[in-house]
Chain A
């Protein structure tokens, strides 16, 4: 790697990173009080700005966007609107996707599912019959019904949700947290991603959703695969002993350190530390994924799928195990929520796959005392339309993408439990009270983790970059 002019200044400009600027600053200040560590590039001036409520995040992303009308946002008044044209007063000429913009009519499709009101800490929380287990944690859930986003298609919408920007290239939320909070367990990655395949229509799931963007690449998410080999190429090849691997790593580290001294490129240090991390993960990952130490009652709680590697239940159990091992950001992707047609059938199957497991996760965290310090987020990337995409019958309908309003729920560290926030109109089409943008959500989550969202940033592309870009307000009614 050559020390080009551009690299030289880029390195120097990373004043929060391990660049020349930081080195110079550190020598000027006489060194940081805690700079005694041998752990390499994770020694950023890191840690929360103020006393945090949450130490880690479990983010369950429902890829494809679950229908808020069929799960959370109860609209009983729609029943009498069945198959009637969505009023222009509601649609207001808003942008549609090209999948339905050509439709000759926009027939209202009331939800096929019954709703019940469950006791929470207010006057009750409405939940669909599709989520009977989730209903038992209504007192722990903070339901936001007034989310809105800028993007109308999956790829930009997920990118926006993960990185605060619709265009690819920015660090994901998990990377920001890895950078800001640092690792609490040097034997495991700080940011772990696990994926469950869904039942229905599945959109592409780009690895850059957990990319680190302009942050040092040690902060990117590490995907744990299902099956015998959770991290590819982690095990030593046949015939290579652990001792031999150790000697090889020591030699490579020497060479890399020489290169670092020459180029001062933090990516070299990242490489050294990642080799070391992988070496330690050879021991820690098998210990993590071996669930033989879980008692039968616990496994039962997560449901029958828990023994099926890669299932949402298995991943929820892993999420708890990662949380208690100090991993900072655990992201579960559940694919298959993109029900443009056959929604009733597919939604039921999707809910079956997640309902018991996500409930068990919350309860398991709670009884172990971990829920208080873990921020749990359950969300899609946008909502779905009140009108039917394609043919509407009494038994079947589909719904298109809808960014104007959708619902998500949170629980745990720093979040007000048992409340419902925000209101939509009678068609769950527009927000009429307390809108929350994606930036607002990010600012609020960062607040729970002890960060002022305006102060946690990184200089890149000539300016101070933030997860919340130049927007975002902490939504204080959501805070405990």
Chain B
């Protein structure tokens, strides 16, 4: 950048000094001196250096807009030649030539610099703040591709329903939704969004920069108040623009709103997108293994994890659960905490595990209070609560689990049968494991039908024609064929087709 800006500054400096000298001479001060020759030479050398480094950079390519680049290069070279000529003419004391040349050089310098600026900062960086008064002068020496006029005329329209709602659902509602309301905030419906959270409203319609939502989204990633949290998937630039444009347009839940000029609609996040899960952090896996805790991917085709504390259950309490499992919160699909020393506190973390399908809390001190952390869990399918310390309040949690297929409640303090749990209709198996039940003996039927008839179909031996002895029989094509002696079956098997006619 010094290479770039130095010649611009130097040449303009030269021009200013010359103008000042010219002005002073006109005021009657003939001794007024213009730019010193050393400055001129430095300018010339710096300009040549800048132009040639630009030319080298171009050879190595990099910029997409070839048109701009070519013009920048031509004007740059012209400036370099001009600056050198200025220095030479000045040295030869050719005053007229020097002044004309300096004017021309400045004339090439300004558009060269401007195109350079466009290339770095994007087209129209200079005029954007004054966009209302489009400057036609600039276009003379900025021969670049202009924007599609139609795009400017009809901005892309988006709406809360079609674009914002799915975005908020995919990126926010896991923690700010039906199941969880972190910061007392829900973002899953217009009403909830309007109410805001414990810190007040999250939107200032018309003013994105004053809206808590945008402020939180824009904080540095490592800031504790940044949303979504650092370890969660972050919104894309297009998604941020969408939210910003929505608030700027008044944050209406019904009226469509235009996107900022040039902005594009982000792809609508699908809920399935949530399923794509990267590998779990290796250091968290290693930490578990160092403690001899079992951890394994559920299957080869997924990054979801099964974590089992059985081996070291008597050393595991709430603190261990938090420190070991918090980094794996999103990955755990199967969690065995049976016989550990956890209390209800650990359930705060367990309730946050969005992919949890199977949870084993057998023989722990979990009560209905801890269990309530699972309220409304959307993926839990199997829940082992045998030998826990529940009471009747736990039923409320069980009723709120809409994916629950199996729950074990033996010795849990909660007595439930399928009549009191209406979910029986959706296939919940309440397995209190009645252990004293005696198998019901069904009386034997009087006659059990034979599964295959053992009676020979023939009375005469197909080989000899003599009466048969059932002890010498074979099964042929599903039927029992008897013979008169042990030798005849061998004869028969040699050529069964020949004896077929002898069979009844």
Contacts and interface: CB of A to CB of B under 8 A. Distances in A.
A34 B285 contact: yes
Contact of B439 (A36, A90, A137, A367): A137
B282 A89 contact: no
Nearest to A74: B448
Contacts of B438: 135-136
A90 B300 contact: no
B435 A117 contact: no
Interface in A18-45: 33-39
B150 interface: no
Given A33-B282, A324-B310, A367 B433 contact: yes
Contact of B410 (A115, A182, A368, A372): A368
A188 interface: yes
Interface string B301-317: 11000001011100000
A92 interface: yes
B442 A372 contact: no
A429 to B, nearest CB: 11
Interface of A: 33-39, 46-52, 74, 76-77, 85, 87-90, 92, 115-119, 124, 135-139, 182-188, 301, 324-326, 363-364, 366-369, 372, 423-426, 432, 450
A76 to B, nearest CB: 5
B451 A432 contact: yes
B471 A88 contact: yes
A137 B310 CA distance: 28
Given A50-B299, A87-B471, A363-B435, A184 B294 contact: yes
A48 B450 contact: no
A69 to B, nearest CB: 14
Interface of B: 279-280, 282-283, 285-286, 289-290, 292, 294-302, 308, 310-312, 336, 338-339, 360, 362, 382, 384, 386-387, 406, 408, 410-411, 431-433, 435, 437-444, 448, 450-452, 454, 456, 470-475, 480-482, 486, 489
- The 3 A-B pairs with the shortest beta carbon distances in the complex, nearest first, are A367-B433, A36-B286, A369-B408
Which of A37, A38, A39, A88 has the most chain B CB atoms inside 10 A of its CB?
A88
Given A33-B280, A49-B300, A372-B406, A119 B439 contact: yes
A87 B470 contact: yes
Contacts of B410: 367-369
Given A136-B438, A326-B308, A369-B431, A92 B299 contact: no
B454 A90 contact: yes
Nearest to B295: A34
Contacts of B480: 87, 89
A87 B456 CA distance: 11
A188 B301 CA distance: 28
Contacts of B489: 88
Given A77-B450, A425-B452, A36 B289 contact: yes
A146 to B, nearest CB: 12
B471 A182 contact: no
Given A325-B311, A423-B451, A33 B279 contact: yes
Contact of B296 (A182, A368, A369): A182
